[in-house]
Amino acid sequence: MKIRVNSMILILLSLVTALTFFQGPLSAEEPREVSLKEVYGSFFDVGSAVSPFLLHGENAGHISRHFNSLTAENCMKPAGIWRPDGNFNFQEADKIIHFAKANGMKVRGHTLVWHSQTPNEFFLDAAGKRLTKEALYLRMEDYFQKVMNHFGNDVWCWDVVNEVLADWGDGIYRTKSPWFEICGEDFIARAFKTAHKINPEAKLFLNDYGLINPQKRERAVKLLKKLLAEGVPVHGVGIQAHWNMNTFQAEELQKSIDAFSELGLDVQITELDLSVYPIRRPPMPGESQNSKSSENQKLEYSPEIAEKQAVKYEQIFDILRENTDKISSVTFWGISDRYSWLNYFPVRGRTDHPLLFDRQLQPKKAFYRVTAPPRYCPPVFSPN
């Protein structure tokens, strides 16, 4: 009797083992216990934009599991740090540095010079009059010094200038900016030189959106060539990558990576997300941002949309993997769809689904697609 029970147990055990081993290869859609940084971390840094309130509980676990680089979504911008009374507020940004250190992560600095999210008073004197060029350069120097010295090498690279390029027309520069209005184009070179003088070890980036659009790429190349010819210490280009799944074109991304790296510059993807909505269009005359035009209707995140987005993400990561010698960092703009800025912009409350993780932090189809073998497996060399 005892022998029969033992052999029954053996048969059962073998059955379980056989079932475990013969369930066949995992398909691209099946959950796998991999993290983004395990898959891509040896090719480039894998980052996320975060705010300090996310650095707790399950969000913190998610962040440290998937990412090895952080960008402050808002609190390292002038509006987060600079106060009109001359005080500087590093409290929030320091929480990010602290979390990054505790988890062995790098931090990208974002951003020093920007026309947006910089208090209006930054450009005014005590009497409320616009600063002269010389006075604004003094303020720039003081701001850079306090900020860059505060973070030291805990921040290894900086978006020194953000969004200084024109979106249309023949000119290179965004002209509707207090920086440009007061200083003309010179403030760009000045910003890089000032940052380099303060921390010669920091890698310095020009960061912008629309950089895979041929005309804007052309403007960027013109400006970068000019800066490099003048010996301005610019080390890399940040391609923001706020893209749209209906219009993203992989070949344009490749062209931009080539164009910037041919100038000898490092390339980073700094703010990746992929909206599922039709391309934004500005409101028509008399229409508000929140109008009910077809582009503004809330979409249901159907399996078809999830599949289309997964295909686009796959194309993006195919290109990134083919260019690992040119790209040092890839940062997503947010940790999950729940916290994306695209839930509020360009239409408040229009729920978007632009990232690799859903509102419950669960991996989406696109996540499995970009992390599925053999995509990230090292090539197998035959002995001959």
The residues annotated with a catalytic role in the active site are: 163, 271
Q: How far is the CB of 183 from ligand GLA (least distance, A)?
A: 20
User: What separation, in Å, do the N-terminal and C-terminal C-alpha atoms of the chain show?
Assistant: 58
> In the complex with ligand GLA, which residue's Cβ is closer, 18 or 279?
279
**Residue number, 192 or 209, with CB nearest to ligand GLA:** 209
CB of 243 to ligand GLA, least distance (A): 12
Query: Rounded to the nearest whole angstrom, what is the least distance from the CB of residue 114 to ligand GLA in the complex?
Result: 7
* Positions in 228-247 near ligand GLA (CB under 6 A): 240, 242
Write down the H helix ranges in the chain. 2-21, 36-40, 57-66, 78-81, 91-102, 133-151, 178-183, 186-198, 214-229, 250-261, 303-322, 365-371
Shorter beta-carbon distance to ligand GLA: residue 271 or 352: 271
The tokens for 315 are 């194309």
Cβ–Cβ under 8 Å, residues 123 and 89? no
What is the signed CA dihedral for 93, 95, 99, 105, rounded to 10 degrees? 10
Rounded Cα gap, residues 135 and 284, in angstroms: 40
Number of residues that bind ligand GLA (CB under 6 A): 7
Angle formed at CA 275 by CA 274 and CA 281, multiple of 5 degrees: 130
Q: How far is the CB of 367 from ligand GLA (least distance, A)?
A: 21
Question: Looking at 266, 271, 314, 337, which residue binds ligand GLA (CB under 6 A)?
Answer: 271
Shortest distance (Å) from residue 208 CB to ligand GLA = 8
Site for ligand GLA in 32-91 (CB under 6 A): none
Q: What DSSP string describes 342-359?
A: GGTSSSTT-----SSB-T
Q: Which residue is nearest to ligand GLA (CB)?
A: 341
Smallest gap from Cβ 210 to ligand GLA, in A, equals 10
Residue 162 in contact with ligand GLA, rule: CB under 6 A: yes
Of 39 and 316, CB closest to ligand GLA = 316
Q: Are the beta carbons of 357 and 364 closer than 8 angstroms?
A: yes
Which residues, numbered 195-214, are part of the site for ligand GLA (CB under 6 A)? Answer: 209
- Structure token digits, residue 49: 């934009």
Interface positions, 319-338, toward ligand GLA (CB under 6 A): none
3-state secondary structure of 189: helix
Q: By C-beta, is 199 or 240 nearer to ligand GLA?
A: 240
- Residue 45 or 314: the one with the smaller Cβ distance to ligand GLA is 45
Rounded alpha-carbon distances, angstroms, from residue 256 to 39, 206, 215, 221, 328:
24, 14, 11, 9, 15
- Dist CA 55 CA 43 (whole Å): 25
- Closest separation between CB of residue 311 and ligand GLA, Å? 24
Comparing CB distances to ligand GLA, the nearer of 43 and 341 is 341
Q: State the DSSP H helix or E strand holding residue 45, giving kind and residue range, or none if neither.
A: strand 45-50
Backbone angles phi, psi at 268, to 5 degrees: -130, 145
Q: 204 near 165, Cβ under 8 Å?
A: no
Nearest-10 crossing angle of helices 133-151, 186-198:
30
Q: Which of residues 94-123 bind ligand GLA (CB under 6 A)?
A: 110
Where along the sequence are the contacts to ligand GLA (CB under 6 A)? 110, 162, 209, 240, 242, 271, 341
